[in-house]
Chain A
Amino acid sequence: MLETLLEAFPTLALLAWEPPGWGANLVRGLGNSIQIALGAYALGLVIGTAGAFGKLHGGPVTRDLLAVYTTVVRAVPELVLILILYFAVTDLVNQGLVAMGYARVQISGVVAGIAVLGVVQGAYSIEVIRGAILAVPTGQLEAARAMGMPPLKAAWRITLPLMLSNAIPGLANLWLIATKDTALLAIVGFAELTLQTRQAASSTKAFMTFFLAAGVLYLLVTLISGVAFGRIEKWARRGQRDGGAGS
């Protein structure tokens, strides 16, 4: 089976794990992509939670600043934001350090990638989390208050679990965006999956083989994530009636 396949498509041998195959490179690239996607997603969630809180409970200045942030990030292409943040942030950090009398530091590609994509993710997370909090029925909170639950406990026991089930579809979508956006880091020369694919393809001239292989890898990540998020949503909605909160 494998032999006949290899005979029909000799370039498939280039996907082998050991050199001269490039399989290990692709998987390494995938590892980098996932690492950055995870970091950026986590950073995005932190920004998103803080930002959603600020938008709901912050003062007028906080709210307006957050509105500027989300509007700008959602209007400017990620590619442009990545270039601006990639060069500007490292430059500013270094100028700041030099001004304060410290030596320049070098910010690794992984950290820069996480920071840049995290800021982009944060803007979208704010809206998802804010929407999910707003969708929590006020009756639930009023009931908690009527029972004499302190506000923090109500937030932890009532708002968070209810909001989570509302937020999960949006957050799942954001995760998929995070994994796909890592491909944009190829433009700044970061060795994630798309750039590794590109380098392997240009070195061997087997473009179709490598691009299709990378497509399969991305698709696997998407499909596996879909199943995982489906499970998580089921778990988060435990104890809720079908078509309960959020629909």
Chain B
Amino acid sequence: MSGFWQTHRIVMAAIGAVIVMLCAIYLRWDWLPKYLPLIGQGIWQTLWLLVVTTFFGFLLAIPLGLAQAAGPWYLAAPAKAFCTVIRGTPLLLQLWLLYYGLGSLFPQFPAIRQSELWPYLRQAWPYAVFALTISFAGYEGEVMRGAFKGVPGGQLEAAKAMGMPRLTILRRIWLPLAIQRALPTLGGETVLQLKATPLVATITVVDIYAVASRVRQDTFIVYEPLLLLAVVYMIVTGLIVLAFRWLENRVPSRVA
């Protein structure tokens, strides 16, 4: 690490530390203890949303990518249309369409209102999870399409020559190789997904962003909650980057 601590970096780090100290001393942080439990719940909600929607979004992205890379036209065309629509419209609009648009249609049907699902449809988080999941699937589906296409044909031909059934080829050869190719971009996509999560605050889901807004509105303090938010998101981003670096090192780069 000796290369990192050059003279100018030490000076910059010192300036940075002074700025942080000044922020700590001169800005108002007296609200922090009162809101600490809420902040904890908010961070938990954000992380939970991130993990669940990334996981299910990725699961959805695999068939979306496969359909576009190798499917017949009647599967490839809808998959492509889905990815284009998701990637071509703002997530905020998709979220509002689902929550306010679709959500306002449901209660008009007494059957839905009386059904077992109603207690869930009544809440905001199912809409948030759904919107974030299909959004991730749309972006990652495009990545997976490239990844499936990028797997060297020789590998698949070799498997075929060995008499492997098609599904086994997909499970044992094609999919692992495609995921391995997609892995470097997956970290970046996950960070983008994290950055998309605060939008759910606009449909009454109480994530960390909503908690910070609540602090701003309760106390009329403008910058401090936003600074806290920025720090929280930077830490989570750092953790995501580290986690994916660890994952990439675990996956052998040659599966020959």
Are B195 and A77 neighbours in the complex by a CB distance under 8 Å? Answer: yes
Smallest CB separation, A89 vs chain B (Å): 12
Considering the chains assembled together, what is the distance between the CA atoms of A75 and B233 in angstroms?
Answer: 7
Tell me if B202 counts as interface (CB < 8 A to partner A): yes
Cα of A83 to Cα of B226 in the assembled complex, Å = 8
Chain B, range 164-194, C-beta contacts under 8 Å to A: 191, 194
| Residue from the list B89, B198, B223 in contact with A88, Cβ < 8 A | B223
Interface pair B88/A219, CB less than 8 Å apart: yes
The interface residues of chain B lying within 8 Å CB-to-CB of A84 are 223, 226-227, 230
Quick check: B92 and A184 within 8 Å, CB to CB? yes
* Chain A residues with CB under 8 A of B101: 201, 207-208, 211-212
Question: What's the least CB distance linking B129 to chain A, in Å?
Answer: 18
A75 pairs with B234, CB closer than 8 A: yes
Binary per-residue interface labels of chain B (193-235) against chain A in the complex, 1 for a CB within 8 Å, 0 otherwise:
0111111001000000100000000000011001101100110
- What residues on A are CB-neighbors of B223 within 8 Å? 84, 87-88
Residues of chain A lying within 8 A (CB to CB) of residue B197: 77
Of B84, B85, B102, B238, which is within 8 A of A75 by CB?
A: B238
Q: Given contacts A77-B209, A78-B195, are A87 and B222 in contact (CB under 8 A)?
A: yes
Contacting residues of chain B (227-254) with chain A, CB-CB under 8 angstroms: 227, 229-230, 233-234, 237-238
A222 close to B191 (CB less than 8 A): no
A91 and B226 CA atoms in complex are apart in Å by 15
Complex Cα spacing A176 to B226, Å = 27
- Establish whether residues A186 and B92, one from each chain, have CB atoms under 8 Å apart when the complex forms: yes
Inter-chain contact total with CB atoms closer than 8 Å: 113
Alpha-carbon distance between A64 and B9 when the two chains are bound, in angstroms: 8
Most central of B100, B102, B104 by chain A CB within 10 Å? B100
CB of A75 within 8 A of CB of B237, answer: yes
- Is B6's CB within 8 Å of the partner chain A? yes
Query: Is B96 in contact with chain A by the CB < 8 A criterion?
Result: yes
Q: Which of A54-82 contact B (CB under 8 A)?
A: 60-61, 64-65, 72, 74-81
| In-complex Cβ contact of B93 among A60, A187, A218 (8 A) | A218
- B90 in contact with A183 (CB, 8 Å): yes
- Does A36 have its Cβ within 8 Å of any Cβ on chain B? no
CB proximity of A211 to chain B, nearest CB, Å: 4
Q: In the complex, how many angstroms separate the beta carbon of B251 from the nearest chain A beta carbon?
A: 24
| B209: chain A residues within 8 A (beta carbon) | 77, 79-80
Bound CA span A207–B90, Å: 16
A-B contact pairs, 28 of them (CB 8 A): A60-B9, A64-B8, A74-B237, A75-B234, A75-B237, A76-B230, A77-B198, A80-B226, A81-B230, A84-B226, A88-B223, A176-B87, A180-B89, A180-B90, A180-B91, A184-B90, A187-B202, A197-B93, A207-B101, A207-B104, A208-B101, A208-B102, A211-B97, A214-B93, A215-B89, A215-B93, A215-B97, A218-B90
User: What are the 7 A-B residue pairs with the smallest beta carbon separation, nearest first?
Assistant: A222-B88, A183-B90, A75-B237, A211-B97, A207-B101, A77-B195, A180-B90
